A and B are shown apart, each in its own frame.
Chain A
Amino acid sequence: MRSSLPVLLGRALLIAAFLGAWEALPRLGVADPELLPPFSTVLGTLWGLLARPALRADLAITTVQLLVAVAVALPVGTLLGLLLSENPRLGAIFDPLVFFLFSIPKSIFLPMFILTMGIGFWQKVAFGVFSTVFIVLMSATAAVRAVRPDHVFVARAFGATRAQIAWRVYLPSMLPILLEGFRLAVIFGFTAVLLAEMYASRTGMGHQIASWGENFMMDRLFAGVLLLAIVAIVLNEAIRAVEVRCSHWRS
Chain B
Amino acid sequence: MQPLAELKPVVDEAIAPERPIIQVSGLDHVYPSRDGPVHALSDIALTVGEGRFVVIVGPSGCGKSSLLMMLAGLRHQTAGTILCSGRPITDPDPDRVGVVFQEANLFPWLTAIDNVAFPLALRGVSRAERAARANAMLELVGLGDAGGRYPHELSGGMKQRVSIARGLVQDPPVLLMDEPFAALDEQTRMAMGEELLRIWSATRKTVVFVTHSLTEAVYLADEVLVMSARPGRIVDRMEVELPRPRTYEMMAGAVFGRLRDRIWQQIKAPAR
Contact = CB atoms under 8 A, between A and B. Distances in A.
Contacts of A160: 122
B119 A153 contact: no
Contacts of A248: 150
A250 B108 contact: yes
Interface string A133-170: 00000000000000000110111111111001000110
B107 A164 contact: no
Given A156-B92, A159-B93, A159-B94, A168 B121 contact: yes
23 contacts: A150-B101, A150-B103, A150-B105, A151-B107, A153-B74, A154-B101, A154-B105, A156-B74, A157-B72, A157-B101, A158-B92, A158-B94, A158-B166, A159-B94, A159-B122, A159-B123, A160-B122, A164-B122, A168-B121, A173-B109, A249-B108, A249-B152, A251-B152
B119 A249 contact: no
Interface in B99-136: 99, 101, 103, 105, 107-109, 118-119, 121-123
A249 to B, nearest CB: 5
Contact of A249 (B74, B150, B170): B150
A151 B105 contact: yes
User: Nearest 3 CB-CB pairs, A to B?
Assistant: A158-B119, A172-B109, A159-B94
Given A153-B74, A249-B152, A251-B152, A172 B107 contact: yes
A168 B101 CA distance: 19
Chain A, interface SS category? helix
Contact of A157 (B99, B103, B151, B152): B99
Interface of B: 72, 74, 92-94, 99, 101, 103, 105, 107-109, 118-119, 121-123, 150-152, 166, 170
Contacts of B151: 249
Given A153-B101, A158-B119, A158-B170, 17 more contacts: A151-B107, A153-B74, A154-B101, A154-B107, A156-B74, A157-B101, A158-B92, A158-B94, A159-B94, A159-B122, A159-B123, A168-B118, A168-B122, A248-B150, A249-B108, A249-B109, A249-B152
Contacts of A169: 107
A158 B150 contact: no
Contacts of A157: 72, 74, 92, 94, 99, 101
Contacts of B152: 249, 251
B15 to A, nearest CB: 32
Contacts of B93: 159
A223 B151 CA distance: 49
Interface of A: 150-151, 153-161, 164, 168-169, 172-173, 248-251
A239 to B, nearest CB: 18
A160 B107 CA distance: 14
Contacts of A164: 122
Contacts of B92: 156-159
Contacts of B123: 159
A26 to B, nearest CB: 52
A56 B121 CA distance: 48
A111 B121 CA distance: 53
A159 B120 CA distance: 10
A150 B94 CA distance: 17
Most B CB within 10 A of own CB, among A150, A151, A153, A157: A157
Contacts of A250: 108
A132 to B, nearest CB: 26
A153 B103 CA distance: 12
A150 B101 CA distance: 10
Contacts of A151: 105, 107
A95 to B, nearest CB: 23
Given A153-B74, A249-B150, A159 B119 contact: yes
Contacts of B170: 158
Contacts of A249: 108-109, 150-152
Nearest to A165: B122
Contacts of B118: 155, 158, 168
A154 B115 CA distance: 11
A139 B105 CA distance: 25
Contacts of B94: 157-159
A202 B121 CA distance: 54
Most A CB within 10 A of own CB, among B92, B109, B119, B170: B109
